[in-house]
Amino acid sequence: MAQQYFAQIYVTLRPSVLDPQGTAVQSGLQHLGYNNVEQVRIGKYIEVTLTAESLETAQQQLDHMCDQLLANPVIENYRFELQALSTPMNMSS
C-alpha cells in the first residue's frame, strides 16, 4: 500500500571545507552590530514529499537522491528526517 512520506533533508558543508558564503553573512551581521557572532555556516534545507511502499523504501530512495543529486558527497554531508503523512494514499479515493 503506497503511503505518502515527508522528508526534511539537511545538507551541510563538511567541517573541513571553507564556507565563503557563511563568512560573508558573518561579516554582514558584524556590520549590523552583532559582534558576538562567532561562526556562521550555511547549508541547504530541502523538503521532499514522495510516495513509497514502505518507510524503508523511502529511506533508501532518499539516500540515493542525496548521493546522486541533492548533495555533493565530496564536500557535503547530509542527513534527513522522514515521517509518514497521516492519510494512506488509497483512503483518499
Count of residues near its own copies by CB under 8 A: 32
- CB count in 10 Å sphere of residue 56: 9
Q: Parallel, antiparallel, or unpaired for β 76-84 and 3-13? A: antiparallel
CB nearer its own copies, residue 35 or residue 74: 35
Whether residue 77 contacts residue 14, with contact meaning beta carbons closer than 8 Å, is answered with yes
Task: Among 16, 18, 20, 51, indicate the residue that binds its own copies (CB under 8 A).
Answer: 51
Task: Please identify which residue in the block is written with the cell numbers 515521517.
Answer: 83
Binding of residue 37 to its own copies (CB under 8 A): yes
- CB count in 10 Å sphere of residue 5: 21
Binding of residue 71 to its own copies (CB under 8 A): no
Which residues are at the interface with its own copies (CB under 8 A)? Answer: 4, 10-12, 22, 25, 28-29, 32, 34, 36-52, 61, 65, 68-70
